[in-house]
Structures are given as C-alpha cells and as structure tokens.
Structure 1
C-alpha cells in the first residue's frame, strides 16, 4: 500500500483549482440541465412516457451539479473560499441541498469517517459483525431492511432530499446561519419552479421534476455508498484511528 503522505505530495499538482476550467465545467453542466428540463416539459405534450424516458439524462446532469457543489464545499472548485461558498449556495437551489448545512455536516463526516466510535454523522449506518450478532432478531431485521437497496436507493434518497434537507436537521441549535441556509434554499427553489408551474401547470412540473431529482438522488447515494462500503474499507476504534 502506498504511503499516504507521499501520495498526497504526488497529487499536490492536481489540488490547485483552475478557475477557467471550473467555470467551463459549470456551464457545460448547468445549461444542458436547464435545456433538458425545458425540453422534457415540452415533450410532455407528446406523451408523458416519452418525457419520462428523458429524465435520467437530466438527472445525470443534476447529479453532476451536486458533484460541483461538493467540490465547492471542499474549497477546490475555485481559489477563493467565498466564491466557492456562493457558487455552492446557488447550486444547492437546484440540488435541493442547503449548502451551509450540508457543508458543515460533510466536513464533520470527513473528520470522523472510519472511526468506529464516531459513527452516525453523514454516513450510512454500519455495524461490526460483533455488534450485529449482539442485536436482537428484530433489530437485525431492522438493520437489514435499512440497508436493503429499496431503502438505500429508493426511500432513503427521497426522504433525504425532499424532507430532511428542508430543515437544518442536526444543526437546529447551532445558529441562525443554518436556518437561513435551509429556508432560503427552499424559497429560492420554489421561486425557480414557479416559472414552469406558471407556464405549464403544477402537475406537469411535478411529474417532470420529481423523477429527475429522485434519479439523481439515488445515483448520488449509490456513489456515496460504494465509496465507503467495501471489504477493504478503513474502520478502527478511536484509540487506533488515524486521519492520515
């Protein structure tokens, strides 16, 4: 296994943001997404199934917007921290993810990932074999149902992006900033969706927006899952855990 510190030195050249490249990537993601969304709404007149078939493509562009938002949260999209934050907030309006809430939660997740004594913040609930065996049959069934693909890739993403992100869950007592982030994102998203609602109606807008969002959300959760849940994943108790 390569030395982590040497690996970081080798990859240093790739850590510096390239603003021109970053903005180009944003443009070739955001504008196609908006164009596809408009095209899908227009295609709904020719038949909903035809329009529905196009939503996965729009969902992939929406997922890429979330990935760019993720890079903003890590301060790697642009060179200036404030610029990263404001671009992240803008993208959160499209991804239904309040940026300031998510950014802090995600930073805490990175600070605790792989630490068996710090589980439960921004991750998929995971038990050790011993912990699983010590659970009752009912608890084991609940754990298996929780980790079933239908839950993790279906109900879970829907709950996360449609309900949980609407309030600063887990951060409600940590200051007004996170309430503004959540509620401000809600209002901005509603303002944007008001345009297609005004043009084609609430039903058509919802029938196009929901499948697009849920496809992107499911794919995003799947990517997150496979990044953290694999046989060689690093897990240690607090006494043996190392961030490096």
Structure 2
C-alpha cells in the first residue's frame, strides 16, 4: 500500500497538506556558522589574491586573475544567498543572530539588508499575483505596452535586456541605497524648514523630536530602514576608504566596480528566471493562490552540484516559496522527501535562460508572461 508521503499526485490535485514540510523548518546554528566561515574566509582570501595579482602585468597575473575573479563572483553569490536566508530568519535559530549576520553580509554586498528584506518579503507574499508584484523588472502589461510609442517601446526593451544587468546591478547594490538616503535627507530638511516656518508664522514652537517622530518618508517605509541604511553606508564607506588606502583608489574602484557589477547581474538574473519562465503562474487579484504561486510560479533550476553549492541550493526555489523558514541547507532534503509530488514544477536548464529573458510582458487577459516579439 502506498503511503501518503510517497504517492504520486497530479499538479492539479496537489495541496499543501499533501507535502511533508514541517520537519525541515528547523535551523541549525552550527551549520549556519560553518556556512558563513566557508564562504566569507575564502572570499576574503580571493579578494586579497586579486589585489596582489593585479598590481602589475605578468604572465601569472594574466592567467590567474580571471580564475580568481570567477571564484570571487561565485563566493559572492553564495554570500548573498546566505544573507537572503537571514532575511527570512531561517539561517540561524534566533532573530538576533540572523539580524547580526545579515548586517555583516550586507557590508560585503554594499546593500542595506533591512529595506531589501522588506521588499523581498512583499515578493513572497504576492508571488504569482502580477497585479500586486510585477517582478524585479517592473513588467508592464501587454495592453499598456501596445499603447506606448515606438521610442518608448524601444527604451522599455533595452532597459529589460540582459546586458543592462551589468550597469543596473551595480546601481542596484551600490548607488541606489545612497541615492535614496540622500533624497530622504533632503526631503526631511525641506519639510522641517517648511514646518518650522509655518510654526513660526503661527506663533507655535517647533519641536524637532515630534516632527521627526511623525515624519513619513517617501523613500523609506520605516525608521528602522533608515537606521540600517545609514549604518550600512558608514561601514561600507569605511571599508572603501581602508581598502582604497591599502591598494590605491583607482586600483580598488576598477576591481570593485567589475566585481560588484558582475555579481549583482548574476544574482538578479537567477532571481528573474526563477519566476519569469514559459508557463509560469501569472494570476491577477481574483482567484490568486499563494500555493500555486509557490509551486507553479517558481522554477526548479537544474544546475551542476558545484553551482548548487555556490548558490546555497536556491535552485530549489519551489521549496523555498512553500516555506521561506526552511534554511538553505534543508531545501534539497525537503525536495527529495517530496520528490514525487513535484512532478508539475517547472524544470529549467542553463540553455533555457535566454528564453526566460524574452518574457518581459504580462498578458493580463490570457494570464501568462509573453515576449514583446509577437
């Protein structure tokens, strides 16, 4: 007799209750600490190595620099995946440990973690509901696209071309958080001046603490996001200054720009294809299902074992969306335990990546992702 755990179910009849998930929602501090160590320590070593190799042009530097560069990108991918787990409070057992680890890893990636994790949580909450969440590229609908002018259509396609991920990735990680911080500061000062003037005219006392407590920023949702961005920016700036002083600022910024641009582009690309693929679940507000968004709106990337290690098994994305509290080191085990139930999950191979990048429009009438070339 077939047990409920191993019996085959068609995708249309699969329910969350049919899946064995609870045993895998357990964090292990020992494994988490070891993952941080086997990621950050080699990353530091490779960064030191590339700085030494690029001091002068030699045969050894020409041969070894590309190899070291690739390893830096791979370890940064793993580092980002671990930071991502911290945002879901799944890497370590305690919320405090996850917050501390996330902040330290956010310095490595120059991206404040708290604002990013809030936005990522929104994605998890609405995955597959394209009325609420249009993906990392902010896709428009097919009808909206058809109404655009020829030039607007061209700009739309260019901005969503894979090659724009290189400058776009650097902007996303390094520049955008600082722009938001500066704009938020200017907004705070201008509103404070306006409020102070109106109080002066009315004969009232301007209370800075009250004003700040009631201020609603257009660039941050919570004050904790502001504090996290300020702290991250201070730490990252100190790191830039120290490393630049040690190896030379031009030397540092050339290497840093290349490394961060490529690593960010890869991370965004992997995230994109995990939800933008042929046949992906693309619902509107009505009849949207969180469960379908997880199983039918998340892909299973078939990667070589070495790439699975460097991406911390994020390829098992359908499992991750079923429960974000499953730590990366348990994703594969959860998949294997429920393997017969996941026959309907979309399998993606490396040679299918380009096809995914063509899906840059949402047809909200046929409820599917489509290409601009029709």
How high is the TM-score relative to the length of structure 2? 0.60
8 Å contact from structure 1 (residues 65, 91) kept in 2: yes
Q: What is residue 199 of structure 1 aligned with on the other side?
A: 246
Question: Residue 12 and residue 171 in structure 1: after superposition, are their counterparts in 2 closer, same or farther (change >3 A)?
Answer: farther
Q: Secondary structure at the match of 2:55?
A: helix
Q: What is residue 227 of structure 1 aligned with on the other side?
A: 274
State the shift of 1:238 in Å. Answer: 0.6
1:68-217 matched pairs, under 5 angstroms: 68-120=82-134, 123-151=136-164, 153-166=165-178, 167=180, 172-217=219-264
Q: Which runs of 5+ in 2 are unaligned?
A: 1-10, 185-216, 292-374
Q: What is residue 50 of structure 2 aligned with on the other side?
A: 40
State the shift of 1:196 in Å. Answer: 2.2
Q: Secondary structure at the match of 1:207?
A: helix
8 Å contact from structure 2 (residues 43, 76) kept in 1: yes
State the alpha-carbon separation in 2 of the partners of residues 31 and 124 from structure 1.
Answer: 33
Choose 1 or 2 for highest CA Rg: 2
CA RMSD of aligned residues (A): 2.2
State the alpha-carbon separation in 1 of the partners of residues 247 and 63 from structure 2.
Answer: 17
Q: What is residue 56 of structure 1 aligned with on the other side?
A: 70
Q: What is residue 8 of structure 2 aligned with on the other side?
A: none
Question: Residue 218 and residue 49 in structure 1: after superposition, are their counterparts in 2 closer, same or farther (change >3 A)?
Answer: farther
The structure that is strand-richer by fraction is: 2
State the alpha-carbon separation in 1 of the partners of residues 169 and 247 from structure 2.
Answer: 27
Q: Which runs of 5+ in 1 are unaligned?
A: none
The structure that is helix-richer by fraction is: 1
State the shift of 1:11 in Å. Answer: 2.9
8 Å contact from structure 1 (residues 29, 64) kept in 2: yes
State the alpha-carbon separation in 1 of the partners of residues 288 and 162 from structure 2.
Answer: 29
- How many residue pairs get aligned? The number is 241
State the shift of 1:52 in Å. Answer: 4.7
State the alpha-carbon separation in 2 of the partners of residues 116 and 190 from structure 1.
Answer: 37
Question: Residue 172 and residue 157 in structure 1: after superposition, are their counterparts in 2 closer, same or farther (change >3 A)?
Answer: same
How high is the TM-score relative to the length of structure 1? 0.89
State the alpha-carbon separation in 2 of the partners of residues 79 and 61 from structure 1.
Answer: 23
State the shift of 1:30 in Å. Answer: 0.3
Q: Secondary structure at the match of 1:172?
A: coil
CA deviation string 1:74-122 (max 9, x = no partner) = 11101111211111011000011101111111111211222122135x6
State the alpha-carbon separation in 1 of the partners of residues 247 and 64 from structure 2.
Answer: 14
Question: Residue 93 and residue 165 in structure 1: after superposition, are their counterparts in 2 closer, same or farther (change >3 A)?
Answer: same
State the shift of 1:31 in Å. Answer: 0.3
State the alpha-carbon separation in 2 of the partners of residues 57 and 206 from structure 1.
Answer: 19
State the alpha-carbon separation in 2 of the partners of residues 4 and 132 from structure 1.
Answer: 36
State the shift of 1:232 in Å. Answer: 1.9
